[in-house]
Amino acid sequence: MDMAARFLVPLPTLMGLLIFLCVGPGAEGGKVLVVPMDGSHWLSMKEAVQELHARGHQMVVVSPELNMHIKEEDFFTLTTYASPYTQDEFNHLLLGQTYLIFERMHFLKMFLKAMESLKSAALVFQRSCEELLHNKELIRHLNASSFEVVLTDPVYPCGAVLAKYLSLPAVFFLRSIPCDLDVEGTQCPNPSSYIPRLFTMNSDHMTFLQRVKNMLYPLALKYICHISFTPYASLASELLQREVSMVDVFSFASVWLFRGEFVLDYPRPIMPNMVFSGGRNCGQRKPLSQLNGQVSK
């Protein structure tokens, strides 16, 4: 099928559209609802929010009261809602297992511990999302605020569910979603024989055995994705009162902005609504300290 042909628009229509975009209400800047993922993800998204604000858009960020990095700034309005946990619980559930990184233990024990900590972190985000979506007053307020679009990081699928609930178009801003859920959401072809999978260290040229490895590796991750993402599908099903799958939630995006770059990633088939903007990943880097330099010598 010729993809290009489907996007050909008659010239007068195109001109009309351009004129509308220049003089229409769009030119005054839109109202954007931002549902960020906390942690390092927010550091990348914050820059996009700042840039959109600089271009005249009104930015409203929604976040639970207790969070890691999402603090008041002058380039957006912060709307918070009560966290369903105390500060102690938050610290314990989210950061309690960080010591694992420095521990030396048997691989299997490490794997089980990592699973456990992943599960408890996933639970924190899941409970936050429930708190937001079940907050009738806040939902009524957001619904009445006439937002034009939801900007969200789909690694935390709460924003996608909220966009669907409020019937607003969603723009996804992401590096990737584990388990190829982004690929399923965009419906890109994804042949195992040519596209190297996460952690396999394969390239896009694989021997037979490497291809077998490429097929087997994703299976282990599937379980993690299952426990971290299915609760959002249940939440969406409950709110929309019909059966919603995880892929339904992820395929809701109008535009996918990937913080990726084919200089770093192997080439793969993409869709017309996928835009790549490499170099935006945790843009606020700090120079390495002198100490780091000495240690590595």
Give the Cα separation of 178 and 184 in Å (integer): 11
Q: Taking the complex as a whole, how short is the minimal distance between the CB of residue 239 and ligand NAG, in angstroms?
A: 8
Q: Taking the complex as a whole, how short is the minimal distance between the CB of residue 141 and ligand NAG, in angstroms?
A: 10
Q: How far is CA 28 from CA 24, 56, 192, in A?
A: 8, 7, 46
Query: Which residues contribute to the site for ligand NAG (CB under 6 A)?
Result: 139, 143, 165-166
Q: Compare residues 121 and 139 and give the one whose CB is closer to ligand NAG.
A: 139
3-state SS class at 227: helix
Place of tokens 């976040």: 63
- Token readout for 8 is 């050909």
Closest by CA position to 69, among listed 95, 31, 88, 99? 95
Q: Taking the complex as a whole, how short is the minimal distance between the CB of residue 163 and ligand NAG, in angstroms?
A: 11
* CB-CB contact of 143 with 124 (8 Å): no
Count Cβ atoms below 10 Å from residue 206 Cβ, excluding itself. Answer: 18
* CB-CB contact of 70 with 63 (8 Å): yes
Q: Compare residues 139 and 221 and give the one whose CB is closer to ligand NAG.
A: 139
Q: Compare residues 86 and 143 and give the one whose CB is closer to ligand NAG.
A: 143
Q: Taking the complex as a whole, how short is the minimal distance between the CB of residue 167 and ligand NAG, in angstroms?
A: 7
Q: Taking the complex as a whole, how short is the minimal distance between the CB of residue 69 and ligand NAG, in angstroms?
A: 28
Q: Compare residues 165 and 217 and give the one whose CB is closer to ligand NAG.
A: 165
Q: Compare residues 167 and 294 and give the one whose CB is closer to ligand NAG.
A: 167
Q: Which residue is nearest to ligand NAG (CB)?
A: 143
